[in-house]
């Protein structure tokens, strides 16, 4: 009887914690969505969902005469996808080299990555601006992509290397005995087993361009080149008014591609560890 009671208490506390966390996470999203439906430009409302909700703000942000939201959205998607693919490819190759091979400068390289990952990108804003200006990358998406990819390499390489170290090297040796080369082992043996970590790196690198403001503001100059973070900021800092409700509408739509990517990759977080072994 006591065991049954203690089990009920544990379950009750567990669900209570889950409920509190759900409220903490969901409430801001519901509040922002309600704000996006509020008429006018003020966020002041007597309830989370306004009494007279309107979809006018969503229509306005998609109207080219009202804002460049669609252009900003496309710019952000382009930068995010290219940054994600470049980061995944670069990090996977570098982590595989550090995990599987022994070469001169390996330890120094890992130590350099360890030090670099402790330094945030905005700490080198002046150096980044000067370098981008000298190379002609100011006001270009290429410059922003290179910064995102370069900034993601140190930490993600350490994470990926640690994961690849847990994959038995006997699999590589068995494949090598069957005549497989280095690239084939990397592509067909190791990478399928590393799908969970690849998914983590992909999601993290995809989200950064959606949330970054400082680096994008330093590099990009013209409104047509802005990403969403800068563009939405412009909506709330106009000279003759602040479009807070339109800002809320634009913020809600940011979550759509991130949610789609996460839902598409979530199966690899669990199943990726066994996929490569089955294929092998």
Read off the pLDDT of residues 138-170 as tens digits, 9 standing for 90 and up.
999 999 999 999 888 988 998 899 889 888 888
Distances (CA, A) of 178 to 13, 99, 191, 261, 280: 54, 21, 18, 36, 12
**241 phi, psi to nearest 5 deg:** 160, 155
Averaged pLDDT of the chain? 85
pLDDT recorded at residue 40? 75
What residue spans define the domains of the chain? 61-279
pLDDT recorded at residue 43? 66
Q: Is the pLDDT of residue 278 over 60?
A: no
- Residues constituting the chain: 280
For CA atoms 260, 251, 119, 132, the dihedral sign is positive
pLDDT recorded at residue 280? 39
Average pLDDT over residues 85-108: 91
Q: Is the pLDDT of residue 240 over 60?
A: no
Which CATH number fits the domain 61-279, given the four candidates 1.10.3720.10, 3.40.50.2000, 3.30.70.20, 6.10.140.120?
Answer: 1.10.3720.10
Per-residue model confidence as pLDDT tens digits over 164-216:
988 888 888 888 888 888 888 888 888 888 888 999 899 999 999 998 998 99
């Amino acid at each position: 009887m006591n065991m049954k009671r203690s089990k009920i208490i544990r379950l009750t506390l567990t669900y209570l914690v889950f409920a509190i966390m759900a409220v903490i996470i969901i409430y801001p999203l519901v509040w922002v969505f309600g704000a996006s439906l509020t008429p006018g430009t003020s966020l002041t409302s007597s309830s989370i969902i306004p009494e007279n909700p309107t979809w006018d703000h969503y229509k306005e942000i998609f109207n080219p005469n009202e804002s460049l939201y669609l252009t900003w959205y496309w710019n952000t998607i382009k930068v995010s996808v290219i940054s994600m693919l470049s980061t995944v490819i670069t990090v996977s190759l570098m982590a595989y080299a550090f995990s599987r091979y022994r070469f001169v400068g390996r330890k120094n390289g890992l130590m350099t990555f360890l030090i670099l990952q402790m330094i945030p990108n905005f700490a080198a804003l002046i150096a980044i601006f000067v370098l981008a200006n000298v190379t002609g990358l100011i006001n270009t998406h290429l410059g922003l992509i290179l910064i995102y990819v370069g900034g993601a390499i140190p930490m993600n390489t350490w994470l990926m290397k640690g994961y690849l170290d847990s994959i038995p090297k006997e699999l590589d040796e068995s494949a090598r005995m069957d005549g497989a080369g280095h690239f084939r082992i990397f592509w067909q043996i190791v990478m399928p087993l590393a799908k969970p970590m690849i998914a983590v790196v992909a999601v993290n690198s995809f989200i950064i361009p959606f949330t970054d403001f400082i680096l994008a503001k330093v590099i990009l100059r013209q409104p047509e080149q802005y990403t969403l973070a800068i563009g939405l900021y412009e909506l709330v800092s106009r000279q003759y008014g602040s479009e807070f409700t339109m800002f809320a509408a634009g913020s809600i739509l940011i979550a759509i591609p991130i949610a789609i990517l996460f839902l598409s990759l979530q199966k690899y977080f669990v199943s990726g560890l066994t996929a490569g072994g089955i294929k092998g």
